[in-house]
Amino acid sequence: MKILDLRPITEKQKSQYNKIATHVMQSWEWGEARKALGTPVFRYGIFANDKLKTAFQLILHKIPFTNFNVGYLPKGPFPDGAFTNALKAIGKAHKCAFIKLEPSVIASEAKQSIPKVFHLSPKPLFTKYNFIVDLTKSEDELLKNMHPKTRYNILVAQKHKVTVKESVDDEAFRVYLRLYFETTRRQGYHGHNENYHQKIWDTLKDMGMARLLIASFKNKPLTAWMLLNFKDTLYYPYGGSSVEHKEVMANNLIAWEAIKLGKKMGLKSFDMWGADSRRGFHKFKAGYRGKLVEYIGTFDLVFNWPIYLIFTFIDKLMPLKVFLLKWISH
C-alpha cells in the first residue's frame, strides 16, 4: 500500500525536483526569479513511500483590502486525487480565497477528467492552445513543412541580409526592453513591467537558461526575442519588434534562427508559448507548422466564494488578467 505524503521541497532536493518539473515556469530557477521579485514562492512534493512522485511550485498574491491570498500554479501537473488533496491543504494553510491552476497537460493526453471540485476559470492567463515545433526533424524537413509564404519570407530576409545575433549582454537586453515596450504600446496590451523582465533575465541568464536573439537590418535592431531553455525544450515567452522595415521580414528570420538554435543546443521541442486564432500572431506562428496542441484549460479551486465572486465582478470592469498582472509583475 502506498503511503502518500505532502512535504515542502528543500534546496537539497533541487535536482530531484527539476527532474519531474513539468515546464520552465515550474522549474526551480523560475521560482528563484519570482523570489527575486519579492513574490512568495512555495515548493512542494508528493511522496509515495518516501519517493518523490509529483513536484510543483505556486506563488501567492495578497488580495488588497483583505486577509486573503490568491494562489497561482501555472503549467503544473494534472490534478489527480493526491494533487487535489494537496492543493486543498495548501490553500487552507495559506488563507487562499482561491488557487488558479493552468496544468501543462494536453487535452488529448489526459487520462481522466478534472475533479469536480475545480471550476472552469472565467479568465485564463494562458491561452488554451499552443504551437510546438519538433526539433528532432532535420532543417530541410522543417523548411519543407513550413507554409510556403513563411519559407518565402525567410528567403526575403536572407536576401536583404538581415542578421540575427545571439547575445546575453546588457546592451542586447536594453534593445530587447525597448522593442518589447514599443510593441506593447503599439498593440495596446498590458505586459509585465521592466523590473519583472530584469529579474527574470538576470536570474535565468546566470543559470544558463536564458538568451536573446536580435534581428537587425543595416545595423538597426528590428526584432528581439527572449528565449528560455529547460530540460529538452526551448521556450519563446517574450519578444518585441519595430514597425520599421517590415518589408525585410526580420520576424520570420528570427523565428527560424530560434528553431535552428534549439537544434544546435540538442533540444527536442520549441514551445511557442501560446496560440490565439483571434490575434494576428497566431497566423505567424502557424506558418512554422508546429503541432497545434490544446491544453485542458484553466481552473479555479475556490475556498472563499464571496471573495471569489467579487473577483468575478471586478473582472467585468477590468480584465482579471490585467488585474493579476499588476501583482505578478512585482
Q: What is the pLDDT of residues 123-138, one digit of tens each?
A: 899 999 999 999 999 9
Q: What is the pLDDT of residues 245-281, one digit of tens each?
A: 999 999 999 999 999 999 999 999 999 999 987 777 8
Please tell me the predicted confidence (pLDDT) of residue 321. 52
Q: What confidence tier does 176 reach under pLDDT thresholds 50, 70, 90?
A: very high
Task: Report, in this order, helix, strand and coil percent for the chain, each rounded to 5.
Answer: 40, 30, 30
Q: What confidence tier does 323 reach under pLDDT thresholds 50, 70, 90?
A: low
Kindly tell me if the per-residue pLDDT of 329 is higher than 60. Answer: no
Please tell me the predicted confidence (pLDDT) of residue 34. 97
CA gap 199, 118 in Å, rounded: 32
Q: What confidence tier does 330 reach under pLDDT thresholds 50, 70, 90?
A: very low
Residue keyed to cell 528581439:
224
Please tell me the predicted confidence (pLDDT) of residue 314. 78
Please tell me the predicted confidence (pLDDT) of residue 209. 98
The three three-digit cell numbers of residue 292, written as one number:
497545434
DSSP labels, 240-251: EE-STTGGG-HH
Please tell me the predicted confidence (pLDDT) of residue 322. 55
Q: What is the pLDDT of residues 105-127, one digit of tens each?
A: 999 999 999 999 999 999 899 99
Burial 119-155 (b: 16+ CB within 10 A, else e): eebebbebbbbbbbbebeeeeeebbeebeeebbebbe
| Cα angle, residue 32 at apex, residues 27 and 38 outer, rounded to 5° | 135
What predicted TM-score, i.e. pTM, was given to this entire model? Answer: 0.94
Task: Enumerate domains of the chain plus CATH numbers.
Answer: 4-125+296-328 (3.40.630.30), 130-293 (3.40.630.30)
Nearest residue to 164 via CA among 84, 97, 249: 249
